[in-house]
């Protein structure tokens, strides 16, 4: 698929054309990764973050946040829930929290591998090479690092680096592959200042970098951030600004599935947040094959507020697990068994 065709799909509003896109993406999904929906147990380990990103509610500059970091025992209790529910993966996610040290997390990864037959995904931001190597050697299987936008000027504007450091997520993604991780990345759809041309470039980069898992979520404004407080100051001119809607997010999910047929694509929590009735199902019926139920202890869920009113904050782990499984079954899809490794990586290694 060429860039001109991607742009045409991104801009179309015709319902009959979009039905063709939804049908095609779902057929590609079924033919390449099947009807299984694999569940990843999400554990939001810490909302402490050293970065001051312009869109994120847990940015270091937001002094209204009550900070936390889960203990090792709390993490292991959440891991046991993943085993109890039959998940194949746990995702350890946090802000860029340098209190999560190399040795502390290495010990936790080792404990998980000794007690549970689970894949481990890490999503901890930009970390040093020695940390990534140690965590991979300890048994971590996957690393998720979203590049958010391929527009370098926009990226620098909303994602300032730490003093004395250069933020190059594409270089880190290459290094993660070299280390042996299954590599995940992703973008936000509708960032103020993101044009249709930018978004088409993002989709093409998924293919170019041969990424194994792509997370695609709508930009949801947070009132405690610079973008949330002054969105119009950063937006593209009329007709060029990508909207952060469910429809646009689903277009990107569908186009990504068609362009990268073997990858894993989650139907994200952000998509379920902007449409609590059918958002998750729309993602799954338009190319997605992964869902991440939240295993974070209830007392921490509302504190991990990267955007407001996040879906699942008002539930405990049992409620999230039951609701998500019931909704997947109601679609006629199958709950996946095992780790659910990316067919894209398995095909590359074979």
Q: Note the pLDDT of residue 221.
A: 93
Q: What is the pLDDT of residue 308?
A: 92
Across the range 64-76, mean pLDDT stands at 98
The answer for residues whose C-beta is within 8 angstroms of residue 325's C-beta and 6 or more apart is 39, 335
Reported as a pLDDT band with limits 50, 70 and 90, residue 268 is very high
**Nearest in space to 51 (alpha carbons), one of 16, 106, 98, 93:** 98
Those residues whose C-beta lies under 8 Å from the C-beta of residue 316, and which sit 6 or more positions away, are 298
Residue range 81-91: mean pLDDT, rounded: 97
Decide if pLDDT at 176 tops 90: yes
Contact 100, 94 (CB under 8 A): yes
Phi and psi of 19, rounded to 5°? Answer: -60, -35
CATH superfamily, domain at 3-343: Aldolase class I (3.20.20.70)
Burial (CB count <10 Å: 0-12, 13-18, 19+), residue 277: exposed
Instruction: Tell me the domain boundaries of the chain.
Output: 3-343
Confidence of residue 10 (pLDDT cuts 50, 70, 90): very high
Mean pLDDT of all residues in 162-187: 94
pLDDT tens digits along 95-140 = 999 999 999 999 999 999 999 999 999 999 999 999 999 999 999 9
DSSP string, 30-54: HHHH-SEEEEEEEEEEE---S---T
Instruction: Render 120-137 in DSSP notation, one character per residue.
Output: EEEE--S--HHHHHHHHH
pLDDT at 283: 97
What count of other Cβ atoms lies within 10 Å of the Cβ of residue 181? 23
pLDDT band of 234, cuts 50, 70, 90: confident
The pLDDT of residue 127: 96
Instruction: Classify 338 in phi/psi space as left (phi over 0), alpha (psi -120 to 50) or beta.
Output: left
User: What mean pLDDT is predicted for residues 263-285?
Assistant: 95
Residues 253/216, Cβ–Cβ less than 8 Å: yes
Contact, 173 vs 132, CB < 8 A? no
pLDDT for 298 equals 93
* pLDDT value at residue 348: 87
pLDDT at 189 (0 to 100) = 97
209 pLDDT above the threshold of 80: yes
Q: How confident is the model over 322-332, as a mean pLDDT?
A: 95
pLDDT of amino acid 238: 84
Q: 146-160, pLDDT tens digit by residue?
A: 999 999 999 999 999
pTM, rounded to two decimals: 0.97
Question: For 99, phi and psi rounded to 5 degrees?
Answer: -75, -15
- With cut-offs at 50, 70 and 90, classify the pLDDT of residue 197: very high
Q: What is the spatial distance between Cα 272 and Cα 266, in angstroms, rounded to a whole number?
A: 11
Per-residue confidence (pLDDT) for residue 87, from 0 to 100: 97
């Amino acid at each position: 698929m060429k860039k001109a065709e991607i742009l045409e799909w991104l801009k179309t509003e015709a319902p009959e054309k979009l039905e063709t896109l939804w049908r095609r993406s779902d057929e590609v999904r079924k033919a390449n990764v099947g009807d299984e929906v694999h569940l990843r147990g999400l554990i939001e380990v810490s909302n402490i973050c050293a970065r001051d990103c312009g869109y994120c509610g847990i940015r270091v500059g937001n002094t209204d946040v009550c900070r936390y970091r889960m203990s090792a025992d709390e993490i292991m209790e959440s891991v046991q829930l993943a085993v109890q529910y039959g998940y194949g993966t746990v995702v350890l996610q946090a802000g860029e929290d340098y209190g999560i040290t190399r040795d502390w997390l290495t010990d936790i990864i080792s404990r998980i591998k000794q007690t549970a037959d689970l894949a481990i995904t890490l999503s901890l931001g930009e970390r040093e090479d020695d940390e990534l190597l140690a965590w991979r050697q300890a048994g971590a299987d996957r690393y998720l690092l979203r590049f958010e936008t391929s527009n370098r000027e926009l990226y620098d504007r909303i994602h300032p680096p730490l003093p004395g450091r250069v933020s190059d997520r594409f270089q880190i993604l290459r290094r993660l592959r070299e280390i042996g991780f299954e590599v995940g990345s992703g973008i936000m759809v509708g960032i103020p200042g993101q044009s249709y041309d930018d978004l088409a470039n993002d989709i093409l980069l998924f293919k170019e970098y041969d990424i194994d898992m792509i997370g695609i979520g709508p930009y949801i404004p947070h009132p405690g951030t610079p973008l949330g407080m002054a969105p119009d100051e950063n937006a593209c001119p009329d007709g060029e600004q990508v909207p952060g809607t469910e429809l646009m997010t689903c277009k990107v999910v569908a186009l990504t599935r068609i362009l990268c047929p073997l990858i894993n694509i989650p139907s994200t929590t952000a998509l379920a947040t902007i449409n609590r009735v059918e958002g998750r199902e729309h993602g799954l019926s338009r190319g997605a094959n992964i869902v991440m139920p939240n295993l974070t202890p209830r007392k921490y869920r509302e504190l991990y507020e990267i955007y407001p009113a996040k879906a699942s904050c008002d539930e405990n782990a049992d409620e999230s697990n039951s609701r998500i499984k019931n909704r997947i079954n109601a679609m006629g899809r199958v709950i996946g068994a095992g780790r659910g490794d990316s067919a894209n990586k398995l095909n590359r290694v074979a």
